[in-house]
Structure 1
Amino acid sequence: MSDSDATLRDLFDRDDLLLAPGVADALEATIAERANADALYVSGNAVATAVHGGPDIGLTTMSETVDRVREITGAIDRPVFCDADAGYGNALNVYRTVREFERAGAAGVHIEDQRAPKQCGHFDGKRLIAADEMVGKLEAAIDAREDDSFVVVARTDAVAVGGLEAAIDRARTYVESGADGIFVDAPETEAQLAEIGDRLADVPLVVNLPYGGKSPIFPAERVAEMGYDVLLFATTAQKAKLRLLEDVYSELVETGNERGLVDRLGTWEDRDDVTDLETWREREKQYAAEDTDGSE
């Protein structure tokens, strides 16, 4: 059930678990909105594969991600929560990053405490900046936002580097610095997930449980029971496209036609419906001159 008038902060604060599907372009966002998602999530991993076809290892620039965010927010009316990686540099870079994301229409971001080159949260090889450096980044992010409803979430990757206790200690430090929520990424067991939810119960908690990642997967009901407020589906659409497009392109190359694909393709009418062609046709009629052949 959609709550289309709510801000992202409202959705973070409500009692029900917020489900945020990941999107990487305007078409995906439009489809997710039509599925009645209350908020959408722009994943750095999904943007990396969409923009340059590469892995999520810090190759994507701030401007590339902001451009994607602007395209997505321009196509839909739902709040968009965004992965801002490690802020694309130091605290000053974070300040500009938040300004750019907010002006592109984002409703909030999460910023992680990784050292460059950053890694996908479910990759190996992560390294952390000092907690006090991260505090400076968070303070810059909070100062930079122009609307107090813009949400700044602190993500820590410390579970993989220093263990659960280090992650919770960092989370507490980040909350004290003003973070609106906490995202402890890549817990590896149900016990870790539950302990995070219990010990950080007084702050909005974000979690990502991707199929194939380091964290176990649970139904939304169990995630809510463990104390989480936001469940991200960061790369589900990306992985769906990987499988589908492999099949589609192989079929086209092997057979030279679409006939073997018709049961897996949307129709012409489906596409026109999603892209709201009829509304644009009506606008075209509204603004058209009576004489449309160019003659005097």
Structure 2
Amino acid sequence: MAHPSLKSAFAERRFIVAPGIFDMISAKVADGMGFTSLYVTGFGTVASHLGVADAGIATYTDMVGRVSTFARGCKTPVIADADTGYGGLLNVRHTVMGYEAGGVTGIQLEDQEMPKKCGHTPGRKVIPAEEMCLKIKVAVEARRDPNFLIVARTDARTTLGLDEAIRRGRMFADAGADVVFIESPESEAEMQAIGRSIDKPLLANMVEGGRTPILPAARLAEIGYAIAIYPAVGFLSVAAALERAFSHLKQHGDSNGLPASESYGFGRICELMGFPEVWDFDKKWAQISPLAEEKR
């Protein structure tokens, strides 16, 4: 069931910072930190689940189970990437219904041609704006809970220019999108123009090393944005930490001497994954089980 708190945050103009989650460890860590929302990154989820590029290879079947697991395992509302809706209008309807049933609070749909490519990478092509508007209308009709939010993204900026991207953003808002996401503006001035031009909650995609400048939350709010997602910061940090740890292991032949800052701690990860509850369960039922009686 969609969390009403996310829709309320937009209505109350509380700026939202959403970290990217890509597996259940990243989801559990982020879930305990007090964020208003979490963002299921397509790039990170495809990379961690399939080990391939986010280039339209992952299917609805690959993704719906993953995003549903994230939503069920987190108390924080989850916005999840759903690429193009994995096909035409009927596919979009099926995708929206599946994501909503899985407990997601917001779904992101984009106007790329299939197979899609990750934002901030070259070679992205978009479908006609009118076709995307139909997808948005189908998505709005398919949802059952009004707290389930439709995030509509356009990748038109990179190939067709800023004016076309803004035009599409306005069309998407008119078609019923709750949040408009114009991907890959290339300067703060472009982001200001977007903020002036579209009267809907706007999403900023903050990708380290991407095409868009990373601005402070206060500045994003000032120029008209409502939410910033950080899809890559988690998996980039994890990959770097793994490389350092594995390099130490390869060089020294053991994990002795790893800096304490490089380890989360076995006790902490046990707690994060819910082992104390498991131990309490085992303790309770071991006291009254027939096997326990036989051992006395």
Q: Give the TM-score taking structure 2 as reference length.
A: 0.94
Partner residue of 1:221? 218
| Aligned-partner SS, 1:216 | coil
| Aligned-partner SS, 2:258 | helix
**Cα contact 1:189–1:216 (8 A) shared by 2:** yes
Q: Does residue 238 of structure 1 match 2:235?
A: yes
Partner residue of 1:133? 131
Distance in structure 1 (CA, Å) of the matches to 2:37 and 2:17:
7
Q: CA deviation at 1:286?
A: 3.8
| Aligned-partner SS, 1:86 | coil
Distance in structure 1 (CA, Å) of the matches to 2:123 and 2:269:
42
Q: Give the 5 Å matches for 1:55-66.
A: 55-66=53-64
Q: CA deviation at 1:277?
A: 2.1
Q: Give the 5 Å matches for 1:258-273.
A: 258-263=255-260, 264-273=262-271
Partner residue of 2:50? 52
Distance in structure 2 (CA, Å) of the matches to 1:289 and 1:93:
51
1:34 pairs with 25, 32, 45, which one? 32
**Cα contact 1:30–1:75 (8 A) shared by 2:** yes
**Cα contact 1:7–1:107 (8 A) shared by 2:** no
Q: CA deviation at 1:153?
A: 1.2
Distance in structure 2 (CA, Å) of the matches to 1:222 and 1:113:
27
**Cα contact 1:24–1:47 (8 A) shared by 2:** yes
Distance in structure 2 (CA, Å) of the matches to 1:146 and 1:279:
34
Gaps of 5+ in 2: none
Superposed CA RMSD: 1.6
Distance in structure 2 (CA, Å) of the matches to 1:262 and 1:63:
40
Distance in structure 1 (CA, Å) of the matches to 2:285 and 2:105:
33
Moved more, 6-15 or 130-139: 6-15
Partner residue of 1:189? 187
2:74 pairs with 71, 76, 94, which one? 76
**Cα contact 1:153–1:179 (8 A) shared by 2:** yes
| Aligned-partner SS, 1:285 | helix
Superimposed CA distance per residue, residues 197-243 of structure 1 (whole angstroms, 9 cap, x where no aligned partner): 1111x211111121100001111111111110010011110100111
Q: Does the C-alpha gap of structure 1 residues 9 and 282 become closer, same or farther in structure 2, counting only changes over 3 Å?
A: same
Distance in structure 1 (CA, Å) of the matches to 2:90 and 2:187:
36
1:274 pairs with 272, 275, 282, which one? 272
Q: Does the C-alpha gap of structure 1 residues 252 and 292 become closer, same or farther in structure 2, counting only changes over 3 Å?
A: farther
Q: Does the C-alpha gap of structure 1 residues 291 and 172 become closer, same or farther in structure 2, counting only changes over 3 Å?
A: closer
Q: CA deviation at 1:288?
A: 4.2
2:7 pairs with 6, 9, 15, which one? 9
Distance in structure 2 (CA, Å) of the matches to 1:189 and 1:32:
29
Aligned pairs, number: 291
Q: Does the C-alpha gap of structure 1 residues 106 and 12 become closer, same or farther in structure 2, counting only changes over 3 Å?
A: same
Q: CA deviation at 1:262?
A: 4.2
Q: Which amino acid aligns with 1:142?
A: V
| Aligned-partner SS, 1:95 | helix
| Aligned-partner SS, 1:282 | helix
Distance in structure 2 (CA, Å) of the matches to 1:256 and 1:70:
39
Moved more, 243-252 or 104-113: 243-252
| Aligned-partner SS, 1:68 | helix
Q: CA deviation at 1:287?
A: 4.1
**Cα contact 2:4–2:147 (8 A) shared by 1:** no
Partner residue of 1:146? 144
**Cα contact 1:25–1:71 (8 A) shared by 2:** no
Distance in structure 1 (CA, Å) of the matches to 2:277 and 2:293:
27
2:173 pairs with 151, 172, 175, which one? 175
Partner residue of 1:205? 202
Q: CA deviation at 1:266?
A: 1.6
Q: CA deviation at 1:265?
A: 0.6
| Aligned-partner SS, 2:257 | helix
Distance in structure 2 (CA, Å) of the matches to 1:91 and 1:12:
27
Distance in structure 1 (CA, Å) of the matches to 2:194 and 2:16:
18
Q: Which amino acid aligns with 2:81?
A: D
Distance in structure 1 (CA, Å) of the matches to 2:259 and 2:47:
26
Distance in structure 2 (CA, Å) of the matches to 1:195 and 1:292:
71
